[in-house]
Amino acid sequence: MRRILYLGPEGTFTEQAARTLVSRVYPDATVGAAQAVLSVAAGPDADLVLAPAVTVRAAMVEVSAGRAEAVVAPVENSVEGSVPATLDALVDADPVVAVAETVLPVRFSVLAAPGTTPERVRTVATHPHAAAQVREWLARELPDAVVVSATSTAAAAVEVLAGRADAAVTAPLAAERYALDVLASDVADVRDAVTSFRLLRSPGRVPEPTGVDRTSLVVTVDDRIGTLADLLTELATRGVNLTRIESRPTRDRLGRYRFFLDLDGHVAERRVADAMAALRRRSQEVRFLGSFPRARIAGRAVAAEISPPDAYSDAAFAEAAAWVQSLQEGSRA
Amino acid sequence: MRRILYLGPEGTFTEQAARTLVSRVYPDATVGAAQAVLSVAAGPDADLVLAPAVTVRAAMVEVSAGRAEAVVAPVENSVEGSVPATLDALVDADPVVAVAETVLPVRFSVLAAPGTTPERVRTVATHPHAAAQVREWLARELPDAVVVSATSTAAAAVEVLAGRADAAVTAPLAAERYALDVLASDVADVRDAVTSFRLLRSPGRVPEPTGVDRTSLVVTVDDRIGTLADLLTELATRGVNLTRIESRPTRDRLGRYRFFLDLDGHVAERRVADAMAALRRRSQEVRFLGSFPRARIAGRAVAAEISPPDAYSDAAFAEAAAWVQSLQEGSRA
């Protein structure tokens, strides 16, 4: 029985993402749930146990030590931006690589004790990030309610169970976990807000290319005028499209920078492999964070897809390499 | 009497930054403080009144409408990353430009009711972001205390005043505002964590170049392979160093991207002006977020300074332009 850890607590968007990702990556496994990282109490027949972890970093340590199979962590929110704790752990901890991603719409449920009517709600508990994303809804629908802060959306549900708040703004999954009524669902000020999550494992076999893949890298370089332009030109000249970039100062050394890059394509494709080799030559360090199928929301691509021109196909790379080799061997001119 | 708004509530790092920035930008003004955005109750002789605002966006609206002089907002934290609410407001709202920045070390104070000893602290209130940055300190120094969530570090101090928590983790400034004792100061797990803040005004006179300046831009482009490499090459070929880059998806249109760029240099320098004109030609939109002196921490530069080679000096640009003009006029060959 292997453990899959997710950033806890239970009943949050990350647990929801973990369920989706596990069913996709391990389609034949029977899956149980545990209450805590060290618990092994699940169905005795389960192949996999889903368990919450306190931090992404702690979960990655469990994976690197061989005590857990994988970690599910949030990577980026379209409103709040990247999740720095995940990014930093990806760089500082022993290497783990993503093998799958999923994107969840950020739509909240509002839960209350059975029988509660909206008119009777005076206090609403939730996490400050969630509060920021439903502020307009609360002002419109529950104008008399005061928002009280909880450490997570799941903790907010517990506040309601304990009688310390009248309602909670939570992930939809919390309605399954807690004996509360759903006052409202599908609640969000920004309709298209999404959060992306990845399933991370110790380095091993890379998922097969699907034709619509993403490759994620961290590149560390010394600060020099034009360094980044040079690196991105290595991608562009090979037809590799960049879908996300973020610079983060390194903590260890002033004047050394780190870039988180997401690319369209798979390390098994020659244009991507060739570009990565060039980045490797031109930087202090390149850490491979995985090649995996790009997530879609309800069938549509999350970002526009751009196919590389024919000049960048595997066949074109192979033909060109064979031509150069034939010149080197003197077999043609 | 003009109002300077900062992201409230009072007694936080942002108020601390606002005081620093106002004394630098308005060195001769007498400064009062107000309790709320709409309050005008300050010293009757004050030229400027510092007042908290509920959101950065609301404060920017006040500035654009001419009802406030400036806004002070957090822009980036070295641990938590950029502050998306500020970045998005900078793009969506009417234009405002930064005229000054400051960088504060993130060091917290722990406040408690007078006479409280560390042994008696069972509950510690603070904002979740602050809690994340002092977790190790709390585990070591107050191992028996439970952390309870507050909506801000200042609200945490109010929890202590109200008897609902034994201690609060706050910005140092809170010790001035609230009648509490300082149990500990200079508290932080990551010693070199910093947050940067900017003072933003309606577009007008740009601060004079100092030789150590920063220019901040938002560039919006359609997604095409190599777009960003091309833009950055425009900077690199003019000796302009990039100190920060972050991509953000635009909400309005799939496949259109937005890059927040910080550059070394000032729009009054020819190399920077020339590069900005090139970006303007090659993108959908370039929004100028200001040129201003780069912040330093206690006399040292926040990031390494890189001087452009002589080929990129104003004199070199002027000489080269004069040469081309003389060719166009036929006055030399």
**pLDDT recorded at residue B152:** 82
What is the rounded average pLDDT of the residues A186-206?
90
CB of B247 within 8 Å of a chain A CB? The answer is yes
For a pLDDT cut of 70, what percent of chain A falls above it?
90
What would the two tokens of residue B54 be? 């509920």
Nearest CB to B228: which of A80, A232, A246? Answer: A232
> Which of chain A's residues have a Cβ under 8 Å away from the Cβ of B190?
251
What residues of B are in contact with residue A265 (Cβ under 8 Å)? none
The pLDDT of residue A298 is 52
Q: Is A123 part of the contact surface with chain B (CB cutoff 8 Å)?
A: no
Considering only residues B111 and A164, tell me which one the structure prediction assigns the higher pLDDT. Answer: B111
Residue B325 has pLDDT above 60, yes or no: yes
The closest CB to that of B192, out of A147, A228, A251, belongs to: A251
Question: B225 pLDDT band (50/70/90 cuts)?
Answer: confident
Four-residue CA torsion sign, B301, B303, B304, B306: negative
The model's pLDDT over A86-104, given as tens digits with 9 standing for 90+, comes to 888 888 888 999 999 999 9
Q: Least CB-CB distance to B236: which of A87, A229, A242?
A: A229
Amino acid at B44: P
Mean pLDDT of B165-180: 93
pLDDT at A300 over 70: no
Q: What is the CA radius of gyration of chain B?
A: 23
Which pLDDT tens digit goes with each residue over B13-28? Answer: 999 999 999 999 999 9
B178/A90 Cα distance (integer angstroms): 40
Pick from A108-122, A200-214, A269-283, B42-56: least confident: B42-56
pLDDT at A254: 57
What whole-number distance in Å separates Cα of residue A231 and Cα of residue A280?
10
Token pair belonging to A29: 């496994």
Residue B108 host element (H or E)? strand B108-112
Mean pLDDT of all residues in chain B? 86
**A44: preceding bond cis by omega (within 30 degrees):** no
Kindly state the average pLDDT of the residues B214-225. 90
Q: Return the higher-pLDDT residue of B303 and A173.
A: A173
**Nearest residue on chain A to B255, judged by CA atoms?**
A304
| DSSP letter, residue A247 | E
Inter-chain CB proximity B226 and A233 less than 8 Å: yes
- Residue A65 C-alpha, separation from nearest chain B C-alpha, in angstroms: 22
**Helix, strand, or coil (residue A153):** helix
Question: What's the gap between Cα B223 and its chain centre?
Answer: 28
Q: Dmax over Cα atoms in chain B, in whole Å?
A: 87
CA B284/CA B146 separation, integer angstroms: 51
**Separation in Å, CA B269 to CA A277, A330, B239, B241:** 37, 54, 11, 13
For the residues A176-182, what does the mean pLDDT come to? 92
Has residue B320 got a pLDDT over 90?
no
Q: Sketch out chain A's domains with CATH numbers.
A: 1-106+190-204 (3.40.190.10), 108-187 (3.40.190.10), 206-333 (3.30.70.260)
Task: Write the CB contacts of B168 (distance below 8 Å, at least 6 apart in sequence).
Answer: B110, B111, B112, B124, B125, B126, B150, B153, B156, B157, B159, B160, B174, B180
The predicted-structure confidence for A205-261, as pLDDT tens digits, reads as follows 999 999 899 999 999 998 788 899 999 999 999 999 998 898 887 765 556 788 999
Percent of chain A residues past pLDDT 90, beyond the cut: 52
Q: In this structure, how many other beta carbons lie within 10 angstroms of the beta carbon of residue A162?
A: 9
For residue A229, give the nearest of B85, B192, B232 by CB distance: B232
When comparing pLDDT for B74 and B79, which is higher? Answer: B74
User: How far is the C-alpha of A239 from the C-alpha of A272, rounded, in Å?
Assistant: 9
pLDDT at A316 over 80: yes
- Whether chain A has a CB inside 8 Å of the CB on B225: the answer is yes
Please list, residue by residue across B240-272, b when 16 or more beta carbons sit within 10 angstroms of its beta carbon and e when fewer do: bbbbbbbbbbebeeeebbbbbbbbbbbbebbbb
Q: Give the model's pLDDT for residue B232.
A: 94
pLDDT at A262: 93
pLDDT digits (tens, 9 = 90+) for A62-95: 999 999 999 999 998 776 667 777 888 888 888 9
Min Cα–Cα distance to chain B from A270, Å: 17
**B75 or A8, which is more confident?**
B75
Beta bridge partners of B28: none
Portion 253-282 of B in contact with A at CB < 8 A: 254-255, 259
